[in-house]
Amino acid sequence: MDREWDCTDPKRQLVWAAATRDAMRLLEGKWKIVIICQLFGAKAPIRFSELERRIEGVNQKMLIQQLKQLEKDGIIARTVYPQVPPKVEYSLTEMGKALGPSMAELTEWAFKLREAVGSFDHVA
């Protein structure tokens, strides 16, 4: 959907700000964007243990928490297979896949920012 970003209507600007705030609330959390990026990069659903291996620095408790929130918010799907030991896989839902263009732009912006300011080591 095209937006008229040069809008001077304060009410419309407030609506856009509220929508952006709502979206950011769904994506806030240190690992959610990283999880989504890993699922975008996968050709097939990813098992929990594989996600844990791919995401350097995340602990199991935090990964579980972030996955549950993303599932609750309709961004990812969790599939449990009835076998021993249990097999659980994660994939993007259609709503999660709709983040694709935004994620690509965010990643491109992050690379530009990195080039402009150098390392992000100073970011807490």
Confidence check: pLDDT of 6 > 70: no
The 10s digit of each residue's pLDDT in 10-52 is: 888 888 888 889 888 888 888 999 999 999 988 899 999 999 9
The 10s digit of each residue's pLDDT in 63-84 is: 999 999 999 999 999 999 999 9
User: Does residue 68 fall inside a structural domain?
Assistant: yes
Domain that includes residue 108, residue range: 30-114
pTM comes to: 0.81
User: What CATH number corresponds to the domain at position 51?
Assistant: 1.10.10.10
Contact 99, 35 (CB under 8 A): no
The 10s digit of each residue's pLDDT in 101-115 is: 999 998 898 889 888
The string of DSSP codes covering 21-69 is HHHHHHH-STTHHHHHHHHHH-SS-EEHHHHHHHSTT--HHHHHHHHHH
Contacts of 89 (CB under 8 A, 6+ apart): 45, 46, 47, 48, 78, 79, 81
Average of pLDDT values for 89-93? 97
Angle of the 60-72 helix axis to the 32-41 helix axis, nearest 10: 80
